[in-house]
Amino acid sequence: MNNAIRYYHSPIGWLQLVATEHAISGVAFVSKPGESAVNSPVLDLCQQQLEAYFDGTLTKFSVPLRLEGTPFQRRVWEALQTIPFGATWSYSELAQRVGNPKACRAVGGANHRNPIAILVPCHRVVGASGALTGYAGGLERKQALLAHEQRTRYML
């Protein structure tokens, strides 16, 4: 099966969801939807979990993921998935967690190349001072995701 694609209109804009037969391989912000060509149980599950996340009833995703990148990138992306819901880590803390405390720039590069937004929560990484730094979806979306998680965390 080729990749299946679906467009989901989230509270912070359109998302393109991409799946293989068994796992999500991409979640990206797009300006407008394209055509969703194929139905997929994996895409159904992903959309259901995103809807529950945005409704404030889901704090940890369980949809299967397919992360393709270098071994270092995959270590960074796996570490991102351990950042607790509603929390943030600095690039330095993330570098320490992947076993290379001096690799802050490389961690930033891997974070920037994360192919699965939101589910692999690169939005939870901030500058050393706590300031919001770059985000592929734009800083306003990063801020909205972090604010959503803070509100939800205090409601639970």
The residues annotated as belonging to the active site are: 122
How many whole angstroms separate alpha carbon 33 and alpha carbon 45? 19
- Supply 117's token pair: 């937004």
CA nearest to 69, candidates 114, 7, 123, 121? 114
Helices 71-80 and 104-112 pack at an angle, to 10 degrees, of 80
* 3-class SS of residue 17: strand
Q: What is the largest CA-CA distance in the chain?
A: 45
